[in-house]
Amino acid sequence: MTIIRFFQPFCTIKDHCNDFPLLCYNRQEVERRAFPVERDKPQEQKNTVKRKKRKIHWPRFIIFITAVLLVVGLGVGSGLLFAWATDTPSFSPDDLDVHTTSILYDIHGNEFARLHGGENRTLVELDTIPQSVLDAFLAIEDNKFYEHHGVDFLAMIRAVMANITGGYGTQGASTITQQLVKNAFLTPDKKLKRKVQEAMLAFQLERTYSKDEIFQMYLNRIYFGEGAYGVQAAAHTFFGKPISEVGLHEAALLAAMPNAPNHWSPYRNPELAEQRRQLVLTQMNRFGYITAEEAEEAKQNQPTVVERGNRVGSASSNLYPYFVDYVIQETIEKYGISENLLYRGGLRIYTTVDPKVQRPAETSLSDSKNYPPSRGSQPVQASMAVIDHTTGQIRALVGGREHTAKRGFNRATDLKRQPGSAFKPVAVYAPALEMGRTTATVVDDVPVRYGNYEPDNYDGVYRGLITMREATQYSVNIYAVKLLNEIGVQNGYNFSKRLGIKSLDDKRDQVLGLSLGGLTHGTNPLEMAGAYGAFANKGVWIEPHAVTQILDREGNVYVQAKPKQDIVMKETSAYLMTSMLETVVQSGTGTRAQMNRPVAGKTGTTELPKDDPQFRGMRGNKDAWFAAYTPELVGVVWMGYDQTDRNNYLYQTYGGSYPAQIWRSVMTAALRDVPVKAFPRPRGLTEVAVDIKSGMLPSDLTPSQFIKTEIFDERTVPKETSNVWVEGVVCVDTGLPYTFGDDCEGGLTRAVFLQRPVPYTGAKRPLDAALEVPTPIVADEDADDADSNNTPDVPLRPNETPAVPTPAPATPSPSPAENNQQQQNSSSNSSGNSSPSQNDRNVPSVPAEPPASGNGKKDEEEKKQEADDVIERPLTPPAELF
């Protein structure tokens, strides 16, 4: 009545006083209340004073507007609730037990597997489950389960408030009853409409079943990961015992997993699983299920998880079992489809697998000829992922030599191993090319130290000044580390993430070791295939995926795949990366993968951990990788042991051996009837002859064997001329620099020497140290200034005793015209022209020294004349350099 009286002056239903007498009003009374005026003044004053303008009573006006909006909002909300309620699926207890088979189809639309309700599940009665298990689930999932009527409204309000910034559903508030309803009747989306329908069905479920019946159905239905459905199967899967024998410390781990089975899995993420287990015990103590002492004791008593057992989620056929496992994983984790819907919903799942690729992959990985002999009790394992880089679709997936457990450990997707040098293109070379470096960028491959980090090359050989192409070809570690240091570790790290490497650690992986694949958590073949796919796909990364479309039982589109894409690098940069990786297969560490078609690839090998005492003094490897692609497909192979120890490790097995052999076997079969084509070359590229010891244009002194034609982005063609070569006079018979007064019986010649931009004097000499001059060569007073300025001062060959420097004559410098002609000859020679350059001229015989006479002055003059007659000749580098 008070509310009606308050709003009475604002109502406008005068004509309906008979029906609503309480709301009738008098207009004058309304005006008097809403617009009060002065009425207590004498009549005379009223007549003489001008009437004041009526004022709006703002507080009442605002209250009125607010009330109107509230009424309208309630009306709209009621309408939405009514509409959603009418659209709620009908409740039927029979739906809890319906089994409908789902069918999987390959890329050609042919059925290859069926999924049905034969999950790894054993039903148990509630009274056979230990109280500690029941309490653990109640504490972490729904502490007020026995108090509410299916929905905890306070929890929902808290969840909505917590999700204001993250969108509805980021933090859940579902009761145990709602979770059971969601799994049995509804789609997995997190929209408000579904939450309303979930609440309504929860009320109906509570009216149909008792609390104990609902709790029992929930504990028998929920999924724990690893193919275990229900608490009984979970107890056997994780602890190897029935649920009746599970203790408090183990019960907490079981209750920790259903919220996100794969995320909290003690197999996949043991540290996270332990954190979640500790939280469950804390909650149990908080709500009074256990004492603080019991909670602390259980926290200290960490459960022992048994080795992976059999997995279920059965398929009606044994075709492509590892691929089927991944399809199940993708539909659950990526598309949020519940296990109930997947195994009982009658779905039609269209996948990306191609039998022409999958079958050869399974055959090759099961063939013992493709493996080294096992050194211990374990078999050597391998896995492979093959994708179509133009779409990101997975064409083949094999997670091991044989499939022994359904939904078991899939080494192609669940593996976390360091990729070694196969990661160099991902974290170093590709970002460097994108940042303006070229395939001819030169770095000095000599020992280096960064603080406590001292990388070395796998073969113990240092090659000196080399290009990016040569470093990629021979998998040179020092080059990769130095280049990553130049471009910035963060740039390499960010580029790797854009290429789909998800397991990177923001703190521990932003180090120089990233260049050599020293990842904290490692990666797997599928991620690596996606990363290399960007090189093959003109710089565009597409997320690898196994499902293209899912239809419901009525034929409606339930899921339409829309994989993520990212343009991570220019098309020209991607082609240059491909060109270098082709060199690896043509003449580098990956020659075993050669086919009768273009192949670009990279090997990767990780050694036994040197800091592990059990491997002290041992030489061997832990992992071997081969990542490569053709214009049609990308494939990545991993090989190693599941558990590496002193008796089980790879001996004389590298990425370029058995893994490359498996890759070639699979691709040869998969592409047997596919026409051969080259990698498409984009516009904006050009070929230029460069000095491979400087990465610059050749100079007059550059020896022809160090002039190579390289491919460049037109924007990064070098403009400067090489400055790493100098001249000097040497004795023909000794190869040592000529010093005034030396007795050179074989005559003299002018030689070209290498001069490093940054001198290196360490004990471990690079191969090209043999190109350097052993002592400074000082020109005599008659020599050209140009020659006298070029005085190298680093050794020619290791362990040689330097000669005493004395003045040496020099020939006149060539004229600009001659210089020009010599450069043209050098360029034409590097392009295949047979015309010799200046450095290819034959050296005429040097006149023999005349018989000795007693005239010392005459002998001295003859020697000086002999030096003046020297004709230039290039120094032939040692054969081991090539």
What DSSP line would sit under 398-464, residue for residue?
A: E-SSS--STT---TTTT--B--GGGGHIIIIIHHHHHTT--TT-EEEES---BTTB----TTS---E
Tracing tokens 């070098």 back to the chain, one arrives at 718
From residue 306, how far is each of 309, 404, 407, 409, 781 by CA, in Å? Answer: 8, 16, 16, 14, 85
SS3 content of the chain, % helix, strand, coil (to 5): 40, 15, 45
Choosing from 174, 265, 421, 657, the catalytic residue is 421
Contacts of 330 (CB under 8 A, 6+ apart): 545, 546, 547
Q: Is 872 a catalytic residue?
A: no
Q: How many CB atoms lie within 10 A of CB 80?
A: 13
Q: How many helices (H) and strands (E) does the chain have?
A: 27, 22
Choosing from 119, 141, 274, 330, the catalytic residue is 141
Torsion of the alpha carbons at 661, 665, 666 and 672, rounded to the nearest 10: 150
Q: Is 421 a catalytic residue?
A: yes
Q: In this structure, is the dihedral angle defined by the CA atoms of residues 446, 449, 454 and 455, taken in order, positive or negative? A: negative
Chain centroid to Cα 823, Å, comes to: 46
Chain centroid to Cα 407, Å, comes to: 23
DSSP strand pairing (725-731 vs 748-754): antiparallel
| Half-sphere exposure of residue 426: CA atoms within 13 angstroms, side-chain side | 34
| Half-sphere exposure of residue 103: CA atoms within 13 angstroms, side-chain side | 11
Query: What stretch of H or E contains 111?
Result: strand 111-115
Contacts of 607 (CB under 8 A, 6+ apart): 458, 620, 621, 622
Q: In this structure, is the dihedral angle defined by the CA atoms of residues 692, 697, 702 and 707, taken in order, positive or negative? A: positive
What DSSP line would sit under 327-381, residue for residue?
A: HHHHHHHTT---HHHHHHS--EEEE---HHHHHHHHHHHH-GGGSPPP-SSSPPE
Query: What stretch of H or E contains 725?
Result: strand 725-731
Quote the CA–CA distance of 320 and 412 in Å, as a whole number: 13
DSSP state of 245: G
| Catalytically active residues, by annotation | 141, 421
